[in-house]
Amino acid sequence: MKVEARLFDVTTSFFILSAIVYGVWSKEPVGTVALILTGGLSLIVGSYFHFVARRVERRPEDNPDAEISDGAGEVGFFSAGSYWPVTLAASGGVSALALAFWQVWLLVIGLVLVLMSVAGLVFEYHTRPNATD
């Protein structure tokens, strides 16, 4: 997690420095505030990664002397045949179009579809405990 934390430290520094330079050169407050807020959001994520990096064991990505084989093994479970990501993307697209054209009725439908898609994705492999019939 230290690699990710450093990455966000660099982006935070870049956005804050860009905000200072932009604010001095342009004298335009909206862009300066946007760059400062972007740097603040990057700082939040970087702080989270610093917080987590202290509590998890060291990963091969954090060791500069690590070999490729040190990272071998199971990474996680990824569903190869799930259609829920497609439904989530489609419902997000419907919601974005409804928001762009400000069609409130379609936005409500799109948000309901997004919530249903997220629930389907989260609970796709959830099985209830052995229930007695």
**Domain ranges within the chain, ordered by starting residue:** 2-71, 84-122
What pLDDT, on the 0 to 100 scale, is given for residue 93?
97
What pLDDT, on the 0 to 100 scale, is given for residue 133?
52
Average pLDDT rounded to a whole number, residues 23-42: 95
Res 89 pLDDT > 90: yes
| Weakest-pLDDT range from 17-26, 75-84, 114-123 | 75-84
Contact 19, 32 (CB under 8 A): yes
Question: For 62, which DSSP code?
Answer: G
15 CB burial (10 A radius; 0-12, 13-18, 19+): buried
Contact 3, 62 (CB under 8 A): yes
Average pLDDT rounded to a whole number, residues 63-77: 81
